[in-house]
A and B are shown apart, each in its own frame.
Chain A
Amino acid sequence: MQTRKKYLFLTFLASWLLLFFFGREQLRRFTFFPRRNVAVRRSWPRWADRTLLHSFAEPWELQGSTDTAQPSPRARRVAQLSTSQGSRCRMESCFDASRCQNGFKVFTYPREHGEPMSESYSKILSSIERSRYYTPRPEEACLFVLSIDTLDRDPLSAHYVRGVEQRIRSFPLWNSGRNHLIFNLYAGTWPNYTEELGFDIGHAMLAKASFHSKNFRPGFDVSIPLFPREHPQRGGQRGWLHHNSVPPKKKYLLVFKGKRYLTGIGSGTRNALHHIHNGQDIVSLTTCRHGKDWERHKDTRCDQDNVDYEKFDYQELLHNSTFCIVPRGRRLGSFRFLEALQAACIPVLLSDGWELPFSEAIDWGKAAVVGSERLLLQIPSAVRCIRPERVLAFQQQTQFLWDAYFSSVDKIVHTTLEIIRDRLLPHRSRSHFLWNTLPGGLLALPDFSTHLGDFPFYYLQHGSGPSDKFTALLRAAPPLGSLSQPTLRLIQAVSRSQYCAQILVLWSCEKPPPPSGTWPQTAVPLTIIQGRTKLSDRFFPYAAIGTDAVLSLDEHSSLSTSEVDFAFVVWRSFPERIVGFSAWSHFWDPEQKRWGYTSRWTNKLSIVLTTAAFYHRYYHSLFTEYLPTGLQELVDSLAACEDILMNLLVAAVTKLPPIKVTQWKQHKEAASQPVKGTAAGSSRRFSQQQDCLNQLVDWFGSMPLVSSQLRLDPVLFKDQVSVLRKKYRYLEKP
């Protein structure tokens, strides 16, 4: 009886369990039976005869058209050029590329006296004139820029220039606008703000702010950012992100503070912005107060809004928010966009149809959130969902883009020109990657190479490394025409380095170089290049330099093989920097209000002399091609200025200090000797150098040099361990 009961009980339990497991699904189905058909997904049917279906096209349709009666391609191209209308312009139909055979040269019309010109436009013109593409001769020009101020085409504005149409028609070079580039910041006027310029631009290209994508001619026009009148000509302020805080959150999540239009175009979005305000991490404030007759349109919210509006400071919000709403104004673009970018406040764009600045080159998806005006209320949840590592990347990208393309009028104008130039030679243009990766498109010259592995900046992203040999480039200008003993010893020492591929001697002396028999016997090839006597010559991109690394030398340099070996190994870890031995340090002299530098031993360094330094050969190209000729002439006229310019250039590109490595003590003293001298000549030379520094800083627009407090030594340098264990033991010999 007892067992029977137990069994009974167990069976009972088991059957309940079974019912529970198997029946659950069935019971549920049973109860919802009428809706069951909806729950089953009806997918696209697997047709029984699907393998028997015909292909969408016959092989001959895909592999070659049988229609040979096609018009001649050449005739088609000619027809395109002659019949195209302005509104449908493309490079191939409206731009005469044959004018650019001799390179990309830009001509600006001479400015006429008494010509009204806004500050911004004159900055644009001088940016072009400062660039390496400028030419004063129209016959060799590829691109033409008017001297008539076309920035403000709002007839109600004080800067509106009248009679543009008649004047441009009278220009003999106008040629119905072909190969012309017209800059514009404001177009159209109240109430509709259509992008009307008030004159017929014909076949000219338009570089315009607040471009609407429906008016934008892709691959032909350039969308530029709206920039304020006081935007600096060159250099420009740095971004406000000084450190990457983790988690990358600031006091506020999302902010907006600005005008609210009560009526008219653009009012829809701005009127709705207050809905997302929550007073805590989202602050969205609008004021009705603007224009003359705002009180007439005033609504019930206005008074309260105006009170709240005064409680927050715009700058404070900008500094302390992770995201910034950048809504359209009357026009699509606003100053707010650049302000947010500089502040590392990730722009949340609410400007439907805006062709973003330099959209042809810049991948805005990495630096901004492109929202939709229609989905404003989803914005808070959308930005909250963005993961912290993406926020961190966004913030850094805003800073990179700001600094690379937007922080000065020079950068905006030069980016515009480079974009146009890239279109003319598609096979020698920058890839998307180059535009959107540090140091940016302006500093990565496609003329040098289009291969990432040839530049010093992309080794890590590219998954490669610099070549494992270097080329020594010795500039020799002996006054007597023959090499001194120390120079010969230097050649010997360098050639003994296991990493040395070749030695190039740049003979910069009027006298001919000594015959080949008198040069020291070296294990590596030694080539003599006949140079000019110019100082900037040493940074010319000689074709003979076949390695990524260049060891730049002077006939007065003195190095040992160990020093060279160690420095090169270090350089391979820092291929984008200058790695050298003798260092100087710059400082701001508050009394004279100018920059100065010292060659004395200090605890800091910011310049490494290129008389004995490793750097990437790309910097030769950058030096020669990127810097305008005017600057190179300046360098040639001042002593030891080319050294400083190279350091400034590399620092401006990398934003990092150079690297100093161990130097054998004896050399060190020898190197610092000349500057210590008190002779009148050398002191004059030194003041010239100070002058050089200040003039160069003026050209760059800011001081690019960065200081470092460290020196790199071999791991066991001067350690209490047997000298036999040390790889670079000759670096510490007394």
Chain B
Amino acid sequence: MCASAKYNTRGPALIPRMKTKHRIYYITLFSIVLLGLIATGVFQFWPHSIESSSDWTVEKRSVHDVPVVKLPADSPIPERGDLSCRMHTCFDVYRCGFNPKNKIKVYIYSLKKYVDEYGTSVSNTISREYNELLTAISDSEYYTDDVNRACLFVPSIDVLNQNTLRIKETAQALAQLSRWDRGTNHLLFNMLPGGPPDYNTALDVPRDRALLAGGGFSTWTYRQGYDVSIPVYSPLSAEVDLPERGPGPRRYFILSSQMSLHPEYQSELEALQAENGESVLLLDKCTNLSDGVPAVRKRCHNSQMFDYPQVLQEATFCVVLRGARLGQAVLSDVLQAGCVPVIIADSYILPFSEVLDWKRASVVIPEDKMPEMYSILQSVPQRQIEEMQRQARWFWEAYFRSMKAIALATLQIINDRIYPYAAISYEEWNDPPAVKWSSVSNPLFLPLIPPQSQGFTAIVLTYDRVESLFRVITEVSKVPSLSKLLVVWNNQNKNPPEDSLWPKIRVPLKVVRTAENKLSNRFFPYDEIETEAVLAIDDDIIMLTSDELQFGYEVWREFPDRLVGYPGRLHLWDHEMNKWKYESEWTNEVSMVLTGAAFYHKYFNYLYTYKMPGDIKNWVDAHMNCEDIAMNFLVANVTGKSVIKVTPRKKFKCPECTAIDGLSLDQTHMVERSECINKFASVFGTMPLKVVEHRADPVLYKDDFPEKLKSFPNIGSL
């Protein structure tokens, strides 16, 4: 390689001298490379062909072709479930380890068919739902195929429905799983537990220490913090598409759609209907169905026939009574229809109750309060009913609608127990997207009035106006609560003045030199800022008195989560142009304050620098404008609160700015600022700014009171 380069540089004169030796050398090299390529091409094909063909057969295999395992009659049976099991006693956390992703690894045993000594099968090999559930786990990021790295094991033995399996033999099948080890870290999914006559509320299959995701737990069988309560899946969810119905009054107030209720419940419901008439609708199965109509999709009241589950959408409240089992599939249908479930099943552990706040989506009524049901439900405020309807639908969409949703929620709950410091919050579990969108969670939610002694740090952003800067520094240093002054020197071409030239002030003064002339430098959370309060001030703001600044700080202490500033601005909706408009006239309202002179919490610097949505930060730096509007948007969006404007208005202009070209500069400025508002509103997806009609003045401002007794006499003088 190096040799050829040498020739090249020598130029054309040397070319004729090229020898046959060289030519052969090139040709040999070329053919080697060619051979290499061909070989690669071959490799490309043959390993692939094996792989894909093997995949192909896996894909196309039938569940009936899986290996058969014969269970000897005397093979071991696990112990019954241990009621005292908790994560710290029965679960082996060492298998899960500490990993930066905070995700558990789940292994699924391969599918086998279990038969007893006589060749009779132990259970149905696998049901459609269980297959969907395992597929979902396998497709999720929890899945691992490496049994040695797994933290949680999911047997492929289907125990969703206890009626379809032989208890003892299923237990034996579990016990012979390769990593069973008394069921440690094994997870079983069951939706229909127990059997006649006494219908246990947890799976009867002996399972030792295995965790149970069960669909009908009572408080007696549920091991809080160990088991997971799951819904009973309703296959109708996949069959019927019920579009979400908007909130609002529905035809029936209470609806009962369950078939074959206990006669005692039936009579109580009938009494309720007799008392309240039309608004209560009781449905039962249809007796006179013609052939071919599936009985599960029809309900009747006397001779009137209704489509199920569509009829659920006609009711505000839908009764979910316990049957022989506590968990009822009807709950899923009811939620899907956006009907508020009225749960009457004493001691029932509601699905995913560890994380879901059911009080927001349902009404739980004790069984012996059933006669009072109507009046209880009447006392629920209308607005709350609407929210419950929305919440019910959201629970169905997020956690009930498919086996996948059920599987993933279950795994997430177990995952959160193992990595509690990375757990999903209450809001993430419970708030429907619409609420997540419209509500705010203030990062500074604790009502604190910070101690005055802390003081504030003034940050002056400057480029080269040294003279004016020095005046600002001198003025600001007179404010009693100033604790530090930080000058952000945004000019890379020029050095800041020498130390000796700076004004001598009573507080520490620090100059920070920036790498680039960006507006966002003003909002960087510098380590030098040691106070909570930050005063951002431009290097030309010299018309604020010391009293005004001190008062501004006192106001900020009372509203530490807001922007507290001096010049106020307003955004308006321009009906002609159909967009937002920026307004700086003498208005009766404010929605923004300019950060040329404003107090705010240092936390917002952190937010501005690291959490600003979209490309706003770069956009502002590129346009060299609107950093203050961006800050107003950011704070209003995260706190949901308005700004506080302090003290009367004054002409907030430096004399030299107006001198250039007053009017036209002003107009382009206004257009640009309006553009900013429109741009930010579209990035935030909403208009977070809040309009208010008040400003803050000292208690005795302009009152007929001796000036010398006022705390802040010098307000509005400049």
- Residues on A lying within 8 angstroms of B by beta carbon are 1-2, 5, 8-9, 11-12, 15-16, 18-19, 22-23, 26-27, 29-30, 33, 36, 38, 40-51, 53-57, 59-70, 72-74, 77, 88, 90, 92, 97, 213-214, 218-219, 241-247, 352-353, 363, 365-366, 369-375, 378, 381-383, 385-386, 388-389, 392-393, 396, 399-400, 426-433, 436, 438, 449-451, 453-454, 460-463, 566, 569-570, 573, 583, 601-605, 654-657, 660-661, 665, 668, 706, 708-719, 721, 725-728
Contact = CB atoms under 8 A, between A and B. Distances in A.
A504 B572 CA distance: 37
Contacts, number: 418
Contacts of B224: 213, 218
22 contacts: A12-B29, A42-B145, A47-B62, A53-B131, A55-B129, A55-B235, A59-B295, A90-B219, A92-B346, A219-B219, A245-B532, A246-B601, A352-B89, A353-B88, A385-B100, A389-B443, A392-B443, A454-B381, A657-B558, A713-B695, A715-B649, A715-B695
Interface stretch (B170-178, B358-366, B469-477): B358-366
B37 A15 contact: yes
Interface stretch (B114-122, B136-144, B489-497): B136-144
Interface in B247-267: 258-265
Contacts of B138: 43-44
A282 B84 CA distance: 35
Nearest to A2: B15
Contacts of A400: 445-446
A348 to B, nearest CB: 9
A726 B585 CA distance: 12
A460 B561 CA distance: 14
B98 A381 contact: yes
Nearest to B693: A569
A54 B260 contact: no
A12 B29 CA distance: 8
Contacts of B364: 426-427
Contacts of B447: 438, 654-656
Given A12-B30, A62-B234, A70-B324, A583 B264 contact: no
B219 A53 contact: no
A715 B588 contact: yes
Contacts of A449: 381, 384
Contacts of B368: 77, 97
B109 to A, nearest CB: 10
Given A44-B138, A246-B532, A727-B588, A56 B88 contact: no
A29 B697 contact: no
A59 B82 CA distance: 32
B329 interface: yes
Nearest to B403: A56
Contacts of A460: 439-440, 442, 639-641
B471 to A, nearest CB: 24
Interface in B195-211: 196-197
Contacts of A375: 93, 98
Contacts of A61: 161, 163, 192
Contacts of A363: 426
Contacts of B41: 22
Contact of A715 (B64, B589, B601): B589
Nearest to A354: B88
B699 A709 contact: yes
Interface stretch (B73-81, B448-456, B573-581): B448-456
Given A56-B158, A392-B443, A715-B693, A49 B63 contact: yes
Interface in B483-528: 525
Nearest to A59: B296
Contact of B89 (A47, A56, A353, A371): A353
A432 B357 contact: yes
Contact of B262 (A11, A19, A43, A73): A73
A617 to B, nearest CB: 14
Contacts of A365: 420, 423, 425-426
Given A36-B47, A432-B357, A56 B160 contact: yes
Contacts of A573: 642, 690, 692, 694
Given A61-B192, A438-B446, A601-B700, A374 B88 contact: yes
Contacts of A385: 100, 421-422
B329 A63 contact: yes
Contacts of B18: 1, 5
B421 A383 contact: yes
